[in-house]
Structure 1
Amino acid sequence: MLDAQTTAAAMVYLREVKRGNSPSIPLVLDRLCETIVDRRVTGQYWEAFEEQFGVTDIVNFFMHCPEEIQPSLGKAYHFIQEGGFLPTDADEEEEKQLTRARSTLKAAWKEQARSGPLLYAAAIFDEDSDLEWYAPDDDTYLDEAIEFVQDQKRLLTFFGVALFCQRKLVRLLDKAVAEKLRFPRFPDVVTPVDPELGTFDEGQMKILAEYVAPQ
């Protein structure tokens, strides 16, 4: 988080300097430049975007799966690996991009489960369809990002959706699993906002019915 904040500050600083402004940021210029160069060379944030799809798929499963079926991580891994979220008209290239192996899903969950509800909320946030692509080392969406964080109503709605998803996930997960995650605590001003999601269709239910619990 601190690294992302430093990188974002560097992007703001360099952009404003190019515009002839002199923003006051408590970081030396060498550190700012080094941060931008290092992040672009290593590709850290783009790789993080690539990795987040697995955990958002898992959260997506829990948000849509009928509760009477008792959703679990094992069922989520099976459902996603078997193409449960693939569009019916997906071509070979799309299938390759959207298919996740169980090992990939398990690794994504281990690394990013705590952030899952927030990442998922960003992916489905109707009021800003590009929100999930805001990166601290990319000034493409910098103005939109500034506008977003300054809009209290939109910000609270976004966090409200994340809180709703987080609470539902905690309720549905195995208790021992949920307790280990230590999800973020939202301030009292944030209240749950139901994104009013649907459930699985007949084809998706068939995939889920094929799940066999490990012995």
Structure 2
Amino acid sequence: MIRITAQNARSLAPMANTRRPPKFDTTDAVAIISGERKQRFSLERELALIGLITWMHFPTRPDLVSMGQVVGAANFFLSLSQAKRAHLVRENPLFSQEVFARALVGFPLGDTFRLEFESLYNEMVNIFEIIDFFMMCPFERRPSLLKALHFIEEGGFVAKEVQEREKKEYKRSAATLKKSWVSHVVAGPFIWSAESLGFEKLIRRSPDETKTINEVGRFLDTPDRVADFFGVAKFCQDRLISRLDPRSRSRFKFVKFPPKVASVEMELPEFDEGQIAILKTYQAPKLIGEVG
């Protein structure tokens, strides 16, 4: 893990690049990571992936996403030789002296990204299970957010082997789940894809961890895994949107995937009898003034 400190700042070579880095754009990040768009400068693809992972944790905080990319850039910078550092400084705007200086002055987190990522673990689990409900719920059961909250609150995803007296430890309130939905729904398909495909280790890596560099490199070096990740995320998002009510579809701005990202359908398990029984206990809230 690295920290941006005055000592690190003094070790940086003079930087000639004065260009401002572009604002993070999710669609463009998917395009460059998937190979639909070629990178314009060195490490643009790697930093796009770091930006996307950070966005998955903070989809409503563009300042943190941009900062995550800068911290990731500093992480890469400190791992390189002096010659390679000089090349990056000239070519990639994320390595400019101004960007690093602004990061030191305006760092938006009170602590490291690593601790922030760890603190969001429950949020990631919550949104994964809500999305999982929408993916698995039979269409004839008319899946909805309220049904998802009820299902999870009642332990619908708690493993059968968990003792009845211990199940309450795995349950979360509807209020907690709804908060996670509002804050992370647009990133939900990417989180669901990563968890479903076994990439959870990658998305847990924060920009300031030294191991992030190797994890990012290994992932980007396997085009099939990159294609599967985005393809499953697109499948998930399309299925989710088709099951949302019109108000939710208009409220949330979901990611527009590049044209060449092909949907990859996942084989979905079905609810068992116990889960269907929980779903049947759902009662729609009564409108004000409704009798009985």
TM-score (norm 1): 0.86
1:174 aligns with 2:245: yes
Question: How far off is 1:42 after superposition?
Answer: 8.6
Task: Give the alignment of 1:7-46 within 5 angstroms.
Answer: 7-16=71-80, 23=85, 24-25=88-89, 26-28=95-97, 38-40=110-112, 43-46=115-118
Question: How far off is 1:54 after superposition?
Answer: 1.2
Q: Deviations over 1:114-170 (max 9, x none)?
A: 1111111111114x4523323222233431222212432211110000000000000
Residue type at the aligned position of 1:163: K
The equivalent position to 1:137 in structure 2, one of 208, 214, 225, is 208
Distance in 2 (alpha carbons) for counterparts of 1:95 and 1:11: 41
Residue type at the aligned position of 2:224: K
Question: How far off is 1:49 after superposition?
Answer: 3.1
| Larger helix percent | 1
Instruction: Answer yes or no: is the 8 Å Cα contact 1:39–1:45 preserved in 2.
Output: no
User: Quick one: structure 1 residues 200 and 16, their matched pair in 2 at CA, closer, same or farther if it must change by over 3 Å?
Assistant: same
SS at match of 2:120: helix
SS at match of 2:188: helix
Residue type at the aligned position of 1:165: C
Select between 34-43 and 84-93 the one with higher mean Cα deviation: 34-43
User: Percent identity among equivalent residues?
Assistant: 32
1:107 aligns with 2:179: yes
Question: How far off is 1:21 after superposition?
Answer: 7.2
Instruction: Answer yes or no: is the 8 Å Cα contact 2:113–2:206 preserved in 1.
Output: no
Q: Deviations over 1:93-124 (max 9, x none)?
A: 6752x322101111111111111111111111
The equivalent position to 1:51 in structure 2, one of 102, 112, 123, is 123
TM-score (norm 2): 0.65
SS at match of 2:260: coil
Q: Deviations over 1:171-215 (max 9, x none)?
A: 001022112111001101101101111111111111111000000
1:90 aligns with 2:90: no
Distance in 2 (alpha carbons) for counterparts of 1:93 and 1:146: 41
Unaligned runs of 5+ in 1: none
Give the CA RMSD over aligned residues. 2.6
Unaligned runs of 5+ in 2: 1-64, 90-94, 287-292
Residue type at the aligned position of 1:65: C
